[in-house]
Amino acid sequence: MDQKKAEYAVQVVGEVLKSFEATSDPKSGPHANAENLAFTSKIVTCLGVAPASLGPIDAYASSPTYADTAGAVANIEVDFAPTAAGASSFLAAAHDDKMSDCLAKQAESGGLSDVTVAKLSFPKSGDDTIAFRTTATKTGRGRTVYLSMDLVVVRVGHGLVYAVFAQGSQIPQSFLSDWAHDAVRRVSDRVASGH
């Protein structure tokens, strides 16, 4: 049941991002662990949490990565823990005060410069919502690209929604827009309703 709910919920991304093109295939499965999901083991380990201590994920689905011609990309993943308490443990890790530092370290390990991470105001969906914006620069071939990536994590009962929206451009700009809010809200609503 949760597997079908996860797969159904991530379908909304393509419905909302009509001007974007899918650049990868969707993924899903009946079981996963923290090392294989959006909330990577590197971040969890940076927070001082053993990935195995977060418990299992019973079902997950990830939308394709969508991209537009202006360099924006979006991806949403839905995971189901066995219980609401299990899902809460994943979100509690995201609420840790060290989360911004851990996201910055991950970006820097990917070769980005001038990295800043801050909590982001985002409309509440589900039972709990937290969002972060990472900004950075990448220089190569004589030009600088400004990157902005927003990570939104929502808990809905025993379900978790991870949304990533990113933009690269030659001028600094933020990315979240009404359609990003709409995508997260609609996916969260589908997780809650199951249809």
pLDDT at 179: 74
Task: Concatenate the DSSP letters of all residues of 77-141 into one string.
Answer: EEEE-SSHHHHHHHHHHHTSTTHHHHHHHHHHHTT-EEEEEEE------SSEEEEEEEEEEEEET
The residue with greater pLDDT, 32 or 4, is 4
Is the pLDDT at 10 greater than 70? The verdict is yes
- Give me the number of domains the chain comprises: 1
pLDDT at 156: 95
The residue-averaged pLDDT of 91-104 equals: 90
User: Which range of residues forms the domain containing residue 143?
Assistant: 2-193
pLDDT at 173: 58
Structure-token match 């982001």, residue found: 120
Is the pLDDT at 56 greater than 70? The verdict is yes
The residue-averaged pLDDT of 10-17 equals: 87
pLDDT at 89: 84
pTM: 0.88
pLDDT at 121: 87
Q: How do residues 115-160 score in pLDDT, each as one tens digit?
A: 999 998 888 889 999 999 999 998 888 888 888 889 999 999 999 9
pLDDT at 142: 85
pLDDT at 194: 65
Q: How confident is residue 22, by pLDDT bands cut at 50, 70 and 90?
A: very high
Task: Concatenate the DSSP letters of all residues of 166-190 into one string.
Answer: EEEESS------HHHHHHHHHHHHH
pLDDT at 122: 86
Whichever domain contains 24, its CATH number is 3.40.1000.70
Q: How confident is residue 38, by pLDDT bands cut at 50, 70 and 90?
A: low
Lowest mean pLDDT, pick from 62-76, 134-148, 172-186: 172-186
The residue-averaged pLDDT of 16-33 equals: 83
pLDDT at 169: 75
